[in-house]
């Protein structure tokens, strides 16, 4: 038997290992392989899967297009007419900017129908509204101070209020009576036509107050009153008897104390009531207001100017104030009713932007009978311009990641108008992708049968609506992320 040394044995062993390794040697380099240039796009989840995961029911529709050329990049149910909810306010903004102009300001005046003699106005004092949707208690307080500077300390005639030929009782008749976002609409409006109800425990009952509060003062009101009644439901009841706003509230719903805004149904009298109260603090004695049936003639003693339409519209888009939208729409159309004004806006949209099948019943989107398709909404947004005035005043929308968490300093930028009703969610606006491409988009989601099955009393906060809305907003965020990844140049 042959004997082998240690080095020989190791040599044979190493040769065997190397031979085995080389027998299966790779035919390509073991260097890391560069990912395909479209790897991010390949990883984006499909539309059908995203919609299925949201479990919304009803109908989902969207369109995304190049904001400069109008080329449609992706669509799902693009022609389906859907309720736009508050996205309608974006159309109202375009309507107002076009008809009124961005620099338009609204006047609120104090007019004397007679001469001022030794501090006494020998005639009527008229508070005349000129369509300002943002008039506040603080504004009236300042006007009363300027009235005193003009030499008026008392009025021998009447305090009259005038806001136009007609007052619209409420925006949408299908809403509960007590919700503050569904007030009356007129040419003279105060505090978005809302009055604040506050209650506190007082022995075995409740102390109830109603006021026209601002950040600085809280003048009480006399045109409206609230009584507490021993019942469980309905929580609120309204009556307009006696020419005033009369509310009753169920005692079993009040708890220890609280407060909420209630809608005003007599906006002109409300404004005059508050003027009477704040004037008293300036030493001016005024009678309780009465409504004038015709436009007053006389001498303008005090005039208050609103912010311009661009600023008013910007704030409306940010805070989604229904009263502002309706007033801007009515001022733009000159119509005497919301339906007629909404028809005028619909006709304008057809002429201005070629949108032919949309239908609006108001200017705020509170009425769910309004309809517009995602394709038509995007057509209007493209027509408004990728660098147009609407885009400059739309609200920035936070970008969210796959876990629905806000992405800080995201390279994707979104400005849009949101819209929410019970089982309706909408979002429309503009996206700037990380590489600078501008997109226009509209997303409409609605389970209309489920919404219309609700009783009127359930519409303020129906069961399931909050979670439904959360899933809808998550889907909106996912779609935006998808488009930023797929359609960046």
Q: Specify burial of residue 115 (Cβ count, 10 A radius: 0-12, 13-18, 19+).
A: exposed
Question: CB of 452 within 8 A of CB of 423?
Answer: no
| Exposure b/e, 257-283, CB count within 10 A at least 16 = b | eeeebbbbbbbbbbbbbbbbbbbeebe
Q: What percent of the chain has pLDDT over 70?
A: 91
Please, what's the b/e burial string for 1-23 (b: 16 or more CB within 10 A of its CB; e: otherwise)?
eeeeeeeeeeeeeeeeeeeeeee
- Residue 166 pLDDT: 86
- As a whole number, the mean pLDDT across the chain is 92
Going from N- to C-terminal start, the domains of the chain cover: 44-103+308-486, 107-305
Spatial CB neighbours of 405, under 8 Å, sequence gap ≥ 6: none
- pLDDT value for 58: 94
Mean pLDDT of 396-425: 94
**Alpha carbon 44 to chain centroid, angstroms:** 31
* Chain centroid, CA 457 distance in Å: 22
What pLDDT score was predicted for residue 10? 42
pLDDT-based confidence at residue 34 (cuts at 50, 70, 90): low
- The answer for residues whose C-beta is within 8 angstroms of residue 237's C-beta and 6 or more apart is 177, 229, 247, 248, 249
Average pLDDT over residues 10-37: 46
Q: Find the angle CA(282)-CA(284)-CA(288) to the nearest 5 degrees.
A: 120
Over the stretch 180-235, which tens digit does the pLDDT of each residue have? 999 999 999 999 999 999 999 988 899 999 999 999 999 999 999 999 999 999 99
Question: Per mean pLDDT, which range of 15-29, 98-112, 259-273, 450-464 is the poorest?
Answer: 15-29
Residues 71-91: what's their mean pLDDT?
98
Band the pLDDT of 289: cuts 50, 70, 90: very high
Q: What is the pLDDT of residue 93?
A: 98
Band (pLDDT 50/70/90 cuts) for residue 402 is confident
Sign of CA dihedral 267, 269, 273, 275: positive
Helical H runs in 428-464? 448-452
Banded pLDDT at 488 (limits 50, 70, 90): confident
Give the per-residue pLDDT at 459.
83
Q: Which residue has the higher pLDDT, 234 or 39?
A: 234
User: CB–CB of 121/152 below 8 Å?
Assistant: yes
In this predicted model, what pLDDT tens digit does every residue of 139-161 receive, in sequence order?
A: 999 999 999 999 999 999 999 99
- Answer whether residue 460 shows pLDDT above 90: no
Domain 44-103+308-486 homologous superfamily, CATH: DD-peptidase/beta-lactamase superfamily (3.40.710.10)
Q: So what's the pLDDT on residue 24?
A: 47
Confidence of residue 393 (pLDDT cuts 50, 70, 90): very high
Three-state DSSP at 8 gives: helix
Which of 441, 477, 323 is CA-nearest to residue 61?
Answer: 441
Span 296-321, mean pLDDT?
Answer: 98
pLDDT value of residue 203: 85
pLDDT reading at 31 higher than 80:
no
The answer to which of 21-35, 48-62, 67-81 has the lowest mean pLDDT is: 21-35
Q: Which residues contact 481 (CB under 8 A, 6 or more apart)?
A: 399, 400, 401, 402, 412
CA distance 452 to 450: 6
- Name the residue with tokens 């009783």: 455
**What is the predicted pLDDT for the residue at 44?**
81
Q: Give the residue from 87, 314, 324, 306 showing the smallest Cα distance to 192.
A: 324
Whether the Cβ atoms of residue 434 and residue 488 lie closer than 8 Å to each other: yes
CA 232 to chain centre: 32
**Does the pLDDT value for residue 4 go beyond 80?**
no
């Amino acid at each position: 038997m042959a004997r082998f040394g240690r080095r020989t044995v190791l040599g044979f062993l190493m040769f065997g290992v190397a031979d085995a390794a080389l027998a299966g040697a790779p035919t390509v380099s073991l260097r890391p392989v560069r990912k395909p240039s479209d790897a991010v796009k390949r990883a984006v989840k499909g539309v059908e899967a995203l919609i299925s995961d949201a479990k919304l029911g009803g109908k989902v529709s969207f369109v995304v297009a190049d904001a400069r050329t109008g080329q449609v990049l992706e669509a799902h149910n693009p022609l389906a007419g859907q309720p736009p909810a508050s996205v309608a306010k974006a159309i109202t903004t375009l309507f107002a900017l076009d008809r009124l102009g961005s620099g338009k300001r609204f006047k609120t005046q104090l007019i004397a129908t007679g001469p001022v003699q030794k501090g006494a106005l020998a005639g009527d004092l008229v508070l005349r509204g000129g369509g300002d949707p943002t008039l506040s208690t603080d504004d009236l307080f300042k006007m009363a101070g300027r009235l005193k500077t003009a030499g008026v300390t008392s009025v021998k005639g009447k305090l009259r209020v005038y806001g136009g030929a007609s007052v619209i009782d409420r925006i949408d008749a299908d809403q509960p009576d007590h919700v503050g976002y569904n007030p009356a609409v007129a040419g003279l409006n105060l505090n978005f036509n809302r009055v604040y109800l506050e209650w506190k425990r007082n022995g075995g009952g409740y102390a109830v107050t109603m006021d026209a509060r601002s950040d600085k003062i809280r003048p009480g009101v006399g045109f409206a009153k609230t009584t507490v009644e021993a019942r469980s439901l309905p929580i609120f009841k309204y009556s307009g008897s006696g020419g005033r706003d009369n509310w009753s509230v169920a005692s079993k719903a009040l708890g220890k104390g609280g407060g909420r805004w209630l809608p005003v149904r007599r906006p002109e009298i409300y404004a005059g009531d508050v003027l009477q109260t704040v004037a008293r603090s300036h030493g001016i004695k005024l009678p309780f207001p009465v409504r004038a049936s015709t436009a007053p003639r006389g001498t303008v003693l005090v005039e208050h100017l609103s912010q311009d339409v661009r600023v008013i519209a910007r704030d409306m888009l940010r805070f989604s104030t229904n009263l502002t939208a309706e007033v801007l729409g009515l001022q733009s159309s000159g119509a005497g009713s919301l339906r007629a004004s909404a028809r005028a806006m619909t006709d304008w949209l057809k002429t201005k932007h070629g949108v032919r099948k949309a239908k609006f019943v108001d200017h705020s989107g509170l009425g769910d009978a309004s309809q517009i398709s995602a394709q038509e909404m995007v057509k209007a947004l493209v027509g408004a311009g990728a660098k147009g005035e609407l885009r400059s005043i739309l609200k920035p929308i936070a970008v969210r990641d796959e876990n629905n968490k806000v992405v800080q300093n995201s390279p994707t930028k979104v400005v849009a108008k949101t819209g929410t009703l019970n089982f309706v969610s909408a979002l429309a606006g503009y996206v700037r992708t990380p590489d600078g491409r501008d997109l226009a988009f509209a997303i409409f989601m609605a389970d209309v049968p489920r919404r219309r099955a609700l009783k009127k009393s359930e519409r303020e906060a129906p069961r399931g609506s909050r979670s439904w809305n959360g899933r809808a907003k998550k889907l909106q965020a996912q779609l935006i992320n998808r488009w930023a990844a797929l359609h960046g140049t």
